[in-house]
Amino acid sequence: MSDTREPGSEGTPVKTDGNGKAPERTHPPILIQAQYMKDLSFEAPGAPAVFTLLQNNKPDIQVRVDVHANTLGENTYEVILHLRADCKVADSVAFVVELSYAGLFALNVPAEHRRPVLMIECPRLLFPYARKIVADATLEGGFLPLMLAPLDFVQLYQRQQQESAGEKSFGDAEGEIKLV
């Protein structure tokens, strides 16, 4: 590429393709248009007794992750990352936290790559924000912050692909993809 100056301009060079033409502008493959919390729930049904139990017992925490993607328009998708953590201490429920954190994404990728991008890359971009919300919710609930370990969305996607072989494919009438 070479630099040329617009006629009548004094300064800023314009990039060209060597033939005097400006190169075509390309759109980024993934554009985050918005991200937002759709739903947040925190319950501490065992409080205040559970705080005494925590002094002598180790908590058992189970985490569940789901990812859904909905088609909103041509190349525009809503990806929802659902996180649920159940904490039990000595057969008593300490807390339950549920979060649905979403993002609106515009994709500029070939059709055959959309599903992996929606189910791997988009939730990977959302996860740090969702992780912080969960940590803050548990902290504000009187517990130590629950710091979720990074998730391997590639592995989750591959597992879902193996489990759903032969089921409905991306693009069916419902416009929803589910990863459990």
Closest CA relative to residue 40, chosen from 125, 118, 132: 132
Residue-level pLDDT at 167: 56
pLDDT per residue, tens digit, the chain (180 aa), is 555 555 555 555 555 556 666 556 577 899 999 999 999 999 999 999 999 999 999 999 999 999 999 999 999 999 999 999 999 999 999 999 999 999 999 999 999 999 999 999 999 999 999 999 999 999 999 999 999 999 999 999 998 888 887 554 444 333 333 433
Q: Is residue 12 part of a domain?
A: no
Rounded-to-10 torsion of CA 169, 170, 171, 176: 110
Q: What pLDDT sits at residue 169?
A: 44
Cα distances from 58 to residues 26, 49, 90, in angstroms, run 53, 15, 8
Query: Domain count of the chain?
Result: 1
The alpha carbon of residue 38 and the mean position of all alpha carbons in its chain are separated, in whole angstroms, by 12
Q: Please report whether residue 83 resides in a domain.
A: yes
9 vs 12, 13, 14, 73, CA distance in Å? 7, 9, 10, 40
Residue 43 lies in a domain: yes
Residue 20 lies in a domain: no
Q: What is the CATH number of the domain that holds 162?
A: 3.10.420.10
CB 32 within 8 A of CB 108: no
Which residues lie below 8 Å from residue 142, measured CB to CB, with a gap of 6+? 44, 47, 51
- Answer for the pair 157, 178: CB distance below 8 angstroms, yes or no: no
- Which segments within 74-175 are labelled E, that is strand? 76-89, 92-107
Report if residue 1 sits inside a domain.
no
pTM of this prediction exceeds 0.85: no
Domain around 54:
27-179
In contact, 79 and 123? CB cutoff 8 Å: yes
> Looking at the domain assignment, is residue 11 inside a domain?
no
* Position 144 in a domain: yes
Residue the block writes with tokens 């517990």 = 143
3-class DSSP state for residue 9?
coil
Q: Is residue 138 included in any domain, yes or no?
A: yes
